[in-house]
Structure 1
Amino acid sequence: MADRGAHALSLPEDWPAQPEPILALNRMGSFDWDLDAGLFHMDAQAYTVFDLLPEEYDGRPESLALRVPPPEAARLDAAVARAIKDGSENYGVYFRIRCRDGALRWTHTQGYIRRDASGRPRRVVGIVRDATDELAESTARTLRAARTEALRQQTDIVQAVSAALADARSVRDVIDVLKDTHGVRHLGAASLVMGLVEAGRIRLVAEGPAGASVPGTRITRITEPYPMSEVVRTLTPRFIESPEEFADGYPILWPHITDLHITSAAYLPLIAQARPIGAMGLLYDDRRGFPAEERAVLVALGSSIAQSLQRAMLYEQEKDLAQSLQQAMLPRTIPSVRGADIAVRYRAAAVGGTLGRDIGGDWYDLIPLPGGRVGAVIGDVQGHDTHAAAVMGQLRIVLRAYAAEGHTPATVMARASVFLHELDTDRFATCLYAEADLSTGVVQAVRAGHIDPLIRHSDGSCRRAPVEGGLPLGLSAEFSRLEYPVSTLELDPGHTLLLCTDGLVEQPGTDLDDGMRGLTALVAEGPQDVRALADRLIRLAEERGGDDDVALLLLRRRVPEAPRAGGRLRQHVTPGDPEALTHARHLFRAAVRAWGAGDRADEIELATDELITNALMHTEGSAIVTLRALDDGGDRRLRIEVEDSSSALPRRRDAGENGVSGRGLLLVERLSDAWGVEARGGGKAVWCEFRLPRADR
């Protein structure tokens, strides 16, 4: 206690300090406003705050108008009146005073409202203080925060634009990203212009909004006095911070953009690998100046755009090269085929924007063959690159050569597999080869790991045509399994054969059979014309996208323009059924005479009988006899085919003087105008043809 008493005795005499010195030290003045008397008393510091001398003030609040401008006085009175009316005990408000030198200075006042027992306001006591430094610091903090936020937003936009540009695969994609409403517009630019350097000139490739460019500046020389030309020449950004600077720096350009009300602009060189590839201009209509941080952001934006443009231009060059190679590998033209309508289409893959992968090994081909026949090929070499395209080109050529040499479809496929294996490449290929006789509609098809063809009927219905298959080309030779069974299909007049690669069928996450059923439905619903149908199918493939290329071949057997009476008859004959043989003879005899065979009816009947007998005697199992009446523009023919299950080929033999057999094929050769043997699946078909006399029916 003694210590505490001693300490108390050591305090200064003026402790504790009075309120007025405390307020003065904090640059605050006090006031007492008597509402009844209408007097407003201020202490000495309050006079200093209001920049008044005592002799300049008569104690009335109205006299403060000498320092408080009317708008500020009205705002101050409104705050006091609102506090009195609301029953508040205090109020606070910032207002400005005009100093004796004419400068405006921010001031703050805070008052306490004293009321009587009835609640009627009688006095207001409070303080006034100079708030200039306080508001200046607060404003600076606000501006710094706003600038930081604006810079953050701009940085986010640049990052978002850069991310969007990462997926751009063409110059047009880059332009679309920049003109998108979520792109550069959010940087606050009113308009955008961008040009690319081409042979010493700048060609304008983008403007937004439309009409933002100046007439006559679509193509300009780098030496001309324009801001984009300047940044290309100097490789340095150009920031124009006011209309006056724009007008002084570019007097030729400025008069043409005054209607855009431009207040500032940023022109950025687009530099890739230390060389200019273009320039971009951002024009603003609501700001002046570019802080250092914002300039750095815009320069980073220009760098990102330049890299995207260079990547897009390289991609387009690579794509053009790949497509040119692809087109060179595919047939330049498809030959016209008598009796058929042909349509072929190809769609390149789109594999994630990877350079050189918009090309693949899919191909089609159409090969004219002797005797009114045609070979249709569809194939797919493994992979999506120039190597796959090169292998495809070689394989297409050799397969065409083997077919043109007259080999059977199975032999063509086997030899192509051996060729691919001997190329010593790591690629294999799937393929389907169909050899069609358009006069008869018989199609012999072989399949090497490929998907089945489709046949669309003349009534619009469509079905999958199963073709027994072998291993893909290359693999069958590697594993010594070169047997390719032949399947026989019938293509009636008006029917369409559809061959395609799996890019038209397969989709990620779906089953191949589901894809084939979907394609069958699309073909059935499609137009009758093969070209229109091909266009529709390839358009759907493009809309669906996908990472595989697509090849498509459609062959429609035409309906004869002037069909004659006749058609096709087919009969099964078995060795142990003599009645079936007799029935077949009677049936064919009636058909031959009805079809106008005339004097050759007996010859046709005899040749048919010999072929049937030969099949039943020298093979095991039944025979299928087909009789067709053919009419190709006035060339009327009748064709007899006898199919059996034996792969052994018939041969002519001299019967000798006393022989009772061996004369069958000799008779067929002497009686008919043409005859031959064709492989049919695991067996064969022996055929002969007779020319019929022309007659009007």
Structure 2
Amino acid sequence: MADRGASALSPPDDWTAHPDPILVLNRMGTFDWDLDTGLFHMDAQAHEVFDVLPEEYDGRPETLAVRVPPPEASRLDAVVAQAIKDGSENYGAYFRIRCRDGTRRWTHTQGYIRRDGTGRPRRVIGIVRDATQELAESEARSLRAAQDAAVRRQTGVVQVITAALSHARSVQDVIDVLLDTHGVRHLGAASLVMGLVEAGRIRMIAEGPEGSCVPGTKVTRIDEPYPMSEVVRTLVPRFIESPEEFAEGYPILWPHITDLAITSAAYLPLIAQARPIGAMGLLYGDRRGFSDEERTVLVALGSSIAQSLQRAMLYEQEKDLAQGLQQAMLPRTIPSVPGADVAVRYRSASLGRDIGGDWYDLIPLPGGRVGAVIGDVQGHDTHAAAVMGQLRIVLRAYAAEGHTPATVMARASVFLHELDTDRFATCLYAEADLSTGVVQVVRAGHIDPLIRHTDGSCRRISVEGGLPLGLSAEFGRLEYPVSTVELDPGQTLLLCTDGLVEEPGTDLDDGLRTLTTLIETGPDDVRDLADRLIDVAEERGGDDDVALLLLRRRCLDTPRSGGRLQQHVAPGDPEALRLARHMIHATVGAWGAVERADEIELVADELITNALMHTEGSAIVTLRALSGSDRRLRVEVEDSSSALPRRRDAGDCGVSGRGLLLVDRLADVWGVEARGCGKCVWCEFLVPGTEPA
């Protein structure tokens, strides 16, 4: 029995698993498993791998159960059985053994299945080795790979956020990028808070999701014991790696955020140009601690956000400045014009500093006339706006002085040329007499005006024009032809800049046709129509600003001239003065104003005398009978001096100085109008009677 037992435990003679020097050097043991007898022969190195002594092992696999836990043995048996069943020639598996000191050891086995001629498995020959170090290194590599993947993912998110921030033009744009689902949330943060430094305090400007901000911390002082205040003071990021560290470091804040289940947090100072402009906090609910790579990525994120925030704040400051300058340059209010409905609109360009050289203006003129101006200075910057403001004021002054439309345009061109600027301007000036509907139009390189008729149809008015302002003076071509159109009651005159009609890929004529269609299908009210046109321009976008002026003539019960007489009075010509007085006396009687004849004659005589005494040149005396809701007689005395009449104290014994006092007391209303070659002093008297012939 002993011999048979010894023979059974002895390895077969053809066992090839004899100790090999290479296997021994690599600490690999060999085994030979006889499937017919069930004996499992191992060499000395295999005994060391399984941590069993030769005298403890009887050659049966069941004996190794003291080292191989049942779950591992079952998993290993399943691998071998599957290989035998599938007809495989080999198999491999990792399993754990329990060493005699109680520690666990990873082991790897590789077996080769030998079969007979019928394919029946007879033996399994293989190796076993200690795989603890191998798996430890593999696990470390896997961990490093996972960490590298996480860092790459976070770096990718930072790159995406940075790319999105490059398009942010306002602080709200920056906030929207950070709170977007593709933003900071992909860094794994559960919530975000961000504040800006303002006057020694931190004002919270963003929180996500809503409710992440602790009540009472919307505005905090920099010296308060909060993490955002700390990073602003120290300019050093603060990484909180556990709830215990959070509770210990910030006992005032921690009780308010316990419901958020925060496990760690990163607070980053937002530094731009070596000064803190704010702080940001990222709060996590599923992690503890931060690796060096993660900290580096978060600091880079904070730097990118800080630069974008500063850029956005500077842009908003420039935008506020530009809008303020634009509003200061454009008319603050449009005067109410009797006999007309007026609407004006301005839209800034979508690029640049939201400021440009487009402008509009409405200028009340004497005699029920009104001047409408639309213009465009070259460029989209503060210089263009400044030139526009100066040009608008000068053009308004020339028009108010009473110059003709052509003279107004020529003088404005000379002014722009002498302004020492490289900018030119296009402009259109329309002077409308609302009582007659006659409109005189002068164009300086600008697009033509349009008229909308009472039936809703619209047409372009072809106006002969001259060179743009500034260029006509430079080339000595200051002639501006005047075109005359008639504006009937209910018709609308539309003036606009090219930003309203120009579109990328289309020419000006196509743009004007499109604009004409919009006007024809638009609302009747000029304000609603202006809103629609500017909304279309807003939807279309574009790189040019838009100015728009609409003037609709109404049927107006204004005084109408029922008669007009005029007399020229030269200085030193007593006969002319006598004829003027005779004309006034006869006309007042003929027009049925006998009751006020003395007052009218006295005031007219004072105005004529003042013109001859205090100015050089002749005077022109005009009498008009105006009919309307009230009949009026109007006396006008025109001279060549631009000096305005002024009241003087005549004293107790003085004679001179009482003229304007008489005019003010006797006339119902009086005033002074600038004329292109001087001024006109006028007064009106309410008179009864019938219409003059």
- CA gap of 1:365–1:261, structure 2 versus 1, over 3 A, is same
- Tell me the equivalent position of 1:10: none
- Tell me the equivalent position of 2:359: 363
- CA gap of 1:33–1:508, structure 2 versus 1, over 3 A, is same
* Distance in 1 separating the partners of 2:147 and 2:631: 91
- Tell me the equivalent position of 2:438: 442
Q: How does 1:172-251 map to 2 (within 5 A)?
A: 172-251=172-251
Three-state SS of the structure 2 residue aligned to 1:19 is coil
- Conservation of the 8 A alpha-carbon contact between 1:439 and 1:632: no
| Cα displacement (A) at 1:17 | 11
- Tell me the equivalent position of 2:129: 129
- CA gap of 1:59–1:250, structure 2 versus 1, over 3 A, is farther
- Tell me the equivalent position of 2:507: 511
- Conservation of the 8 A alpha-carbon contact between 1:96 and 1:107: yes
| Cα displacement (A) at 1:472 | 0.8
- Tell me the equivalent position of 2:49: 49
Q: How big is each residue's C-alpha offset from its partner over 1:571-592, in whole Å with a ceiling of 9 and x where there is no partner?
A: xxxxxxxxxxxxxxxxxxxxxx
- Tell me the equivalent position of 2:546: 550
**Percent identity over the alignment?**
84
| Cα displacement (A) at 1:18 | 4.9
Moved more, 89-98 or 321-330: 89-98
Three-state SS of the structure 1 residue aligned to 2:351 is coil
Q: How big is each residue's C-alpha offset from its partner over 1:556-607, in whole Å with a ceiling of 9 and x where there is no partner?
A: 22356x99xxxxxxxxxxxxxxxxxxxxxxxxxxxxxxxxxxxxxxxxxxxx
Three-state SS of the structure 2 residue aligned to 1:517 is helix
- Conservation of the 8 A alpha-carbon contact between 2:90 and 2:110: yes
| Cα displacement (A) at 1:238 | 0.8
Choose from 454, 459, 484 the match for 2:455.
Answer: 459
| Cα displacement (A) at 1:175 | 1.6
Residue 482 (structure 1) aligned with residue 468 (structure 2)? no
Query: 1:489 is matched by which residue type in structure 2?
Result: V
Choose from 491, 497, 502 the match for 1:501.
Answer: 497
| Cα displacement (A) at 1:419 | 1.6
- Tell me the equivalent position of 1:528: 524
Query: 2:156 is matched by which residue type in structure 1?
Result: D
* Distance in 2 separating the partners of 1:293 and 1:633: 87
Residue 152 (structure 1) aligned with residue 148 (structure 2)? no
**RMSD (Å), alpha carbons:** 2.9
- Tell me the equivalent position of 1:401: 397
* Distance in 2 separating the partners of 1:108 and 1:216: 61
| Cα displacement (A) at 1:21 | 4.6
- Tell me the equivalent position of 1:642: none
Aligned residues: 557
- Conservation of the 8 A alpha-carbon contact between 1:349 and 1:360: yes
* Distance in 1 separating the partners of 2:628 and 2:454: 21
- CA gap of 1:25–1:500, structure 2 versus 1, over 3 A, is same
- CA gap of 1:121–1:458, structure 2 versus 1, over 3 A, is farther
- Tell me the equivalent position of 1:76: 76
Three-state SS of the structure 1 residue aligned to 2:333 is coil
| Cα displacement (A) at 1:471 | 0.7
Three-state SS of the structure 2 residue aligned to 1:380 is strand
- Conservation of the 8 A alpha-carbon contact between 2:112 and 2:126: yes
Moved more, 229-238 or 538-547: 538-547
Three-state SS of the structure 1 residue aligned to 2:514 is helix
| Cα displacement (A) at 1:439 | 2.7
- Conservation of the 8 A alpha-carbon contact between 2:18 and 2:30: no
- CA gap of 1:252–1:95, structure 2 versus 1, over 3 A, is farther
Three-state SS of the structure 1 residue aligned to 2:270 is strand
- Conservation of the 8 A alpha-carbon contact between 1:449 and 1:472: yes
Unaligned runs of 5+ in 2: 1-15, 559-625, 633-674, 677-687
Residue 142 (structure 1) aligned with residue 138 (structure 2)? no
Moved more, 185-194 or 82-91: 185-194
- CA gap of 1:179–1:469, structure 2 versus 1, over 3 A, is same
- Tell me the equivalent position of 2:374: 378
Q: How big is each residue's C-alpha offset from its partner over 1:228-267, in whole Å with a ceiling of 9 and x where there is no partner?
A: 1110011001112223222222223233333333332211
* Distance in 1 separating the partners of 2:198 and 2:115: 83
- Conservation of the 8 A alpha-carbon contact between 2:450 and 2:495: yes
* Distance in 1 separating the partners of 2:253 and 2:690: 86
Three-state SS of the structure 2 residue aligned to 1:402 is helix
Unaligned runs of 5+ in 1: 1-15, 564-630, 638-677, 680-690
Three-state SS of the structure 1 residue aligned to 2:129 is strand
- Conservation of the 8 A alpha-carbon contact between 1:454 and 1:465: yes
Query: 1:318 is matched by which residue type in structure 2?
Result: E
Choose from 422, 425, 428 the match for 2:421.
Answer: 425
- Conservation of the 8 A alpha-carbon contact between 1:341 and 1:556: yes
Three-state SS of the structure 1 residue aligned to 2:85 is helix
Q: How does 1:299-378 map to 2 (within 5 A)?
A: 299-352=299-352, 357-378=353-374
Choose from 362, 382, 386 the match for 1:390.
Answer: 386
Choose from 403, 407, 412 the match for 2:408.
Answer: 412
- Conservation of the 8 A alpha-carbon contact between 1:267 and 1:279: yes
Query: 2:67 is matched by which residue type in structure 1?
Result: R
Q: How big is each residue's C-alpha offset from its partner over 1:317-344, in whole Å with a ceiling of 9 and x where there is no partner?
A: 1211111111011111111122222111
| Cα displacement (A) at 1:449 | 0.6
- CA gap of 1:279–1:501, structure 2 versus 1, over 3 A, is same
Q: How big is each residue's C-alpha offset from its partner over 1:640-695, in whole Å with a ceiling of 9 and x where there is no partner?
A: xxxxxxxxxxxxxxxxxxxxxxxxxxxxxxxxxxxxxx99xxxxxxxxxxx9989x
Three-state SS of the structure 1 residue aligned to 2:480 is coil
